[in-house]
Structure 1
Amino acid sequence: MRAAVWNARAALLYSVGGWTMLGAMLHYNSSSSGGSGESGGGPENESDPQANQATRKEVFTRETGFGLQITTVVTYKDVQPPITRLLRRVKSFFDPSDGPPSAN
């Protein structure tokens, strides 16, 4: 009888933990994408280096033998899944210096 009670309590604990984690990830995803109110462009995202990355464009121009000019524009945009942003934010909490190690 005690084993069944312990099993039910453990199952309840794990299910509450799992749903809490899922809810936190969904909340973090919706708040970081700017879906609700002022939390999308707030001061929290200004310090996040992943949120401040802009698109990068490279322009290549080439001339052919017939006098034609070919221009190619390549646009790079870093799109990361929400779990990657969350893991990087947690990592930066424990290791705030993401720069190269100092020479000292």
Structure 2
Amino acid sequence: MRAAVWNARAALLYSLGGWTMLGAMLHYNSSSSGGAESGGGPENESDPQENQATHKEVFTRETPLGFKVTTVITYKDVQPPITRLLRRMTSFFDSNDSPPSEN
């Protein structure tokens, strides 16, 4: 009997956590896509996650036959949506106005 009660409590806790995470991700995705459709409101202009610059590296080498080979590598710091969500959630509890650290 105790095992059945424990199993029911664990299932309830697990489902509550899963639905909470799903709801938070849906809310985050709907709020971030709504700002992009409206042309980027003032809240998106100050968001460091939205204004990320790309970093390019250009390598040029010459082959023995006299051909020049140019390789362009473009880097962009792309973070998974869950990381952006967690950083946005922790920014509510952060007392200073600086963006969260990259570490």
The one-letter amino acid paired with 1:75 is T
Q: CA offset at residue 18 of structure 1?
A: 4.9
Give the aligned CA root-mean-square deviation in angstroms.
3.4
Q: How many residues align?
A: 91
Read off the aligned partner of 1:49 and give its amino acid letter: P
**Other-structure match for 1:41:** 40
Report the TM-score when normalising by structure 1. 0.61
The equivalent residue for 1:85 is 84
Consecutive aligned runs of 4 or more in structure 1 exceeding 4 Å deviation: 13-18
Query: Partner residue of 1:23?
Result: 23
Gaps of 5+ in 2: none
Check if 1:67 corresponds to 2:59.
Answer: no
CA distance in 1, matches of 2:34, 2:78: 15
- How much has 1:70 moved relative to structure 2? 0.7
Would you say the 8 A contact 1:46–1:52 is kept in 2? yes
Question: Offset of 1:48 from its aligned partner?
Answer: 1.1
TM (normalized to structure 2)?
Answer: 0.62
Q: 1:99 & 1:14 partners in 2: Cα distance?
A: 30
**CA 73–33 in structure 1, closer or farther in 2 if over 3 Å, else same:** farther
Q: Which stretches in structure 1 are left out of the alignment for 5+ residues?
A: none
CA distance in 1, matches of 2:65, 2:59: 18
